[in-house]
Chains A and B, each alone.
Chain A
Amino acid sequence: MRIELQKRANTSTLFSILSPLLALVLTLVAGAIMFGLLGKKPLGSLYIYFVEPLLDVWSLHELAIKAAPLILIAVGLSICFRSNNWNIGAEGQFTIGAITGSILPVLNPDWHSPLILPLMLVMGMIGGALYAGIPALLKTRFNTNEILTSLMLVYIAQLFLDWLVRGPWRDPQGYNFPQTKSFQPEAVLPEILDSGRAHLGIIFALIAAVALWFMMRFMLKGFQVSVLGQSERAGRFAGFSARNMVWFSMLLSGALAGLAGISEVSGSIGHVQPVISPGYGFTAIIVAFLGRLNPLGIIASGFVLALTYLGGEAAQLSLGISDKVSRVFQGLILFFVLSCDTLIHYRIRLILNPSAAQEGKS
C-alpha cells in the first residue's frame, strides 16, 4: 500500500477561501481534546480561552494592543518573504526602533512640544530600518546569509537595551529599578477611545497593511517583489535589481518593526525597560505565514494570534494551566492551515495493488 498526493485538476475556490476558517475549527477540536486530556472540561476551557477575552471591552482593547505590533511587523515581513529575503530579526529591529524612538523623551524629559511624538515615530522607523540595513549590507556586499545575521543581531539589540536601561538611561529617582523615567505626556501615543488602553498603534498597523496590499496588488513595485521572489534570473531579465530589492524589503520591514517598537514603548509601556516584547518579532513570522503573506490576511491572522496570547493569560489565571498552552495553539493553527491548503490543492490516494504490496515485503 502506498499513499500518494495527487494534484487536483481544479481547486475549489470556495474551500480556498474557507481554508483558514476550517483550520480554526480543527484547532478548536484539537484544543478541546487537549483540555480533556489535561482533565479540564473541554468546552468550558475553550470558552475561557477563546471567548471570554472577547466579551469584555477591556480585553478587546488589550487584543488591539497585542495585534498592532504583530500586524505591523508581519506585513513588513510578508514583503521580505515574498521577495525571498528571510528577515528573521524583526525582534531586534523592534528593539532598536524602540531605543532610537525613545532618545528624545529620555534625554529631553522637559521638552513639551507637539512635535516630539511625530519625531519619535520617525526616529523609531529610521532606527529599525538602519538595523535591518546591517544584514542587507552584509548580504549585498558579502553574500552573507541574512537568516543568520538578522537573527544574531536580535541578541545584540536586546543586550544593548538591557545595558542602556541599567546604565546610562536609568532613572536616577527610580529606586534603582532598571528603567527610564516615564515619558512626558506629549511623548505618549494617544489612546483611540476613552473606553480603554488601545492606542494609535493599531491604526498604524491597519494603514500599513492596506498600503502594502495596494502596492502588492496594483503597483509595479509589488510585481517586482513577486518576480524577484520567484526567480532572480527572470527578475534580472526583466531589468529588476535583486540587490535593490534586498535593500527595499529589508529597510521597509525594519522601519515597520521599528515603528511597532516605538509605538509599543510609547503607547503601551510609557517608559523603556529591559524587556519590552513577549516575542512579537518572532510570532509575527507565524502571523505572516498564517495570513498567507497577504497583507489583508495578516490583519485577520494578527488578531487570531493576539487572541492566543490573551487566552494563554486567561488560561493561566482561571484554569491554572501553563501559558505554554498559547504556544501549543499557535503551533496547531499553523499545522492545520498548512494541511488544509495542501489538501485543497492535492487529494490523498491510497494505492493498493498486489505487486506494490510484494515490493513492500521484499
Chain B
Amino acid sequence: MTFSEGVEASPLLSVRGLTKLFGSFAACNAIDLDIGRGEIHALLGENGAGKSTLVKMLFGVLQPTAGTVSLEGKPVVIPSPGEARRLGVGMVFQHFSLFEALTVAENIALSLDPRTPLAKIAEETATVSRAYGLPLDPSAHVADLSVGERQRIEIVRALLQNPKLIILDEPTSVLTPQEAERLFETLMRLKSEGRSVLYISHRLEEVQRICDRATVLRHGKVTGDCDPRQETPASLARMMVGTDVAEVQRADAGAFGDVLVEVAGVSVAPRTPFAVSLKDISLKVRAGEVLAIAGIAGNGQSELFDALSGEYPIADDNGIQLRGKPVGRLRINGRRLLGAGFVPEERHGHAAVSALSLSDNLLLARSRSDKKAFLAGGPLSILRRDAILTASRRICSIMDVRKSGDDPAAGSLSGGNLQKFIVGRELDRQPAVLVVNQPTWGVDAGAASRIRQALVDLAKAGSAVIVISQDLDEIFEIATTISVISDGKLSDPYPSGELTLEQIGLLMGGIHENHSAVETAHAH
C-alpha cells in the first residue's frame, strides 16, 4: 500500500475531453476519466455506449479526434498498441487473439521482443503465472485449453510487460463462478501491488463487489462517476440505460402443456478434431416451459444446437421429436416448417451475414417457412422485396431495433440491436418451439432484458423454449427448468427453484466424480 498517498495526489491515468468522431458520429464525446494507482476502476455502459472506442484509444488502436491522455501526470500520445505496452498499458481482450495450433509460450512470444529466446519466455510464463495464481503449462497447446485457461494466457501475456494499468474487457463473461472467483483474487493481488485495473463488465454485482470506482458511459458521454458500493444494481443500470431496466416476469411453473420437444438418448460423434461428442442426451420440453441449459463454453453446446436445429441432422430419426413427429434426419427447413425457430450463438456469419441488409437477413432464416409470403413466380422463386421489407420493418419496430437508415447492413448494427433483430425474426413467426444458443452474449443490459422478456412471453403463450446459456443470472431469471451440460453430457433437469448458484457451478465443472476433475477435464 505504498501508493496510497499517491491516489489523492496524482491519478495514474487521466483523460480529459477525449472525443472520437467517425464521420459526424461521436462514438466518444468529451470523456473525462481518472484512474488512481492501485484502483480497480469499472467502465460500465450498454453496447454502443463507446466503451470499446474509449479503450481502443487508450490502447493505441484508435487515435482520438480531440482531447488529452496523461499517464502519471505527463501528457502522452499513444499511436500504437506497441507504444501503449511500452508506456505500461496492458490489455486483455474479450475475444482472445490466440493461435490454437501454437503452444502457450509461443503465443506469448508473439507479442514480445522477437529476440527473446523461447525458453526464457516459457520460464517467465511459468513464474509469473504461479506468482499470480494463474496456473499455466507453457508447453500446452492452446487448442487443448479451456476458455478460462486461454484467458489466463492473455492476462499473463499482459503481466509479462510489467504494466501499470491493465484493461480487462468483459473478463468473466466466459468463466464459471469458480473461475471468476480465482480471477478476482488475481485482480486483488494486482491492486495490492499498486497496479491499476480498468474493468469493463456488464455484470453489475461483480462490479459492486470488486471495483473501487465506476465510470458509466451512455451514448458516448459520461453519465455517472460513482463508488459502485454506494449504489444498487438498479441505480447503476439506470445510469447505463437511462430508464429503469424492466424486470423480467417469469412464467408460472406447473402449468405446462404437451411435450413439444423430446430428445431420447442421442449420441453424436465429433465432426472435427476440436469438437465435443454428445453422449446420450435426453431431454423433454413441454408447452409453456423454458428449459435452460447451463454450461461452460465448449462443452457440447454448439454441437447440441446443431443437432436440435438440423443443421447437422443425426442418424437416428426417432432420436429427436418435434411436436410428436420424428425429425432426427430432417434438415433445418423441414423442422422450421413444423413450427420450430432457431437462434444460433454467433451473430456474424451464422445467424446473419454482416454485409447483407436486414431484410436479406430476414429472408435468410425464413425463405422456406414463409415461402408463400416472400416468394413469387413458382419455380423461378422470385423475391418479393416489398413483402420482405415490410416484415423486416415490423420486426424492427416491435423489437425496438435501433439502426441508421431504413434497411442497413446487418454488420452496421451494434451487437445488442442485431441480436434483437435475430430473435425478433423468429418470434415474428410465433414458433411453437424456439431453440436459442447464448441469447444475450455480448449484449447490453437494455437489449438483454428485452430479449429475455420476449422469450418468457413466448413460453407463456404456449411455446416450448430451450435456452443454451453461459450466463447464470440470465438462467435464473428466465428458466422454469435447468439442466447443465458438461463434456457432452446433459444432467437431469431441475426445477429452477431447487438449484443454487453453487450447485450449478459444480455441475458445470463435471461434478459427480471429484472436484479436481474440474481442473484436469480440459487439459487432456
Contact = CB atoms under 8 A, between A and B. Distances in A.
Interface in B331-386: 331-333, 336, 342, 344, 346, 349-353, 355-356, 360, 363-365, 367-368, 375, 380-383
A223 B375 contact: no
Contacts of A10: 23
A227 B410 CA distance: 13
A353 B79 contact: yes
Nearest to A9: B23
Contacts of B356: 226-227, 230
Contacts of A238: 332, 364-365, 367
Given A239-B367, A359-B80, A233 B349 contact: yes
B25 interface: yes
B77 A353 contact: yes
A234 B79 contact: no
Contact of B344 (A8, A219, A237): A237
Contact of A2 (B79, B82, B349, B364): B79
Nearest to A217: B383
B336 to A, nearest CB: 8
Interface string A196-239: 00000000000000000000001111010011001101101111
A237 B382 CA distance: 21
A230 B351 contact: no
Given A220-B375, A236-B311, A238-B364, A231 B350 contact: yes
B355 A230 contact: yes
Contacts of B274: none
B68 interface: no
B332 A239 contact: yes
B381 A220 contact: yes
A128 to B, nearest CB: 24
Contact of B367 (A223, A226, A236, A355): A223
Given A223-B363, A237-B311, A238-B364, A230 B353 contact: yes
A231 B23 CA distance: 29
A218 B24 contact: no
B258 interface: no
Nearest to B331: A239
B52 interface: no
A83 to B, nearest CB: 13
Nearest to B311: A236
Contact of A237 (B22, B76, B83, B365): B365
From A226, A227, A237, A359, name the one whose CB has the most chain B CB atoms within 10 angstroms: A237
Contact of B383 (A2, A218, A233, A239): A218
B63 interface: yes
A119 interface: no
A219 B380 CA distance: 7
Interface residues of A, number: 25
A231 B348 CA distance: 9
The dominant DSSP class at the A interface is helix
Contacts of A231: 349-350, 353
A348 interface: no
A234 B353 contact: yes
B351 A234 contact: yes
A216 B383 CA distance: 11
Interface string A331-362: 00000000000000000000101111001000
Given A238-B365, A239-B368, A233 B350 contact: yes
Contacts of B332: 236-239
A238 B374 CA distance: 14
A356 B80 CA distance: 8
Interface string A283-310: 0000000000000000000000000000
Contacts of A234: 349-353, 364
Contact of B83 (A8, A223, A236, A355): A355
B380 A227 contact: no
Contacts of B381: 219-221
Contacts of A359: 79-80, 82-83
B495 to A, nearest CB: 32
A219 B63 contact: no
Contacts of A9: 22-25
A237 B80 contact: no
Interface string B378-407: 001111000000000000000000000000
A139 B363 CA distance: 28
Interface of A: 2, 8-10, 218-221, 223, 226-227, 230-231, 233-234, 236-239, 351, 353-356, 359
20 contacts: A2-B79, A8-B23, A9-B23, A10-B23, A218-B382, A220-B367, A220-B375, A220-B382, A223-B363, A223-B383, A226-B356, A231-B353, A233-B349, A233-B350, A234-B352, A238-B364, A238-B367, A355-B77, A356-B79, A356-B80
Closest 4 CB pairs of A and B: A9-B23, A239-B333, A220-B381, A231-B349
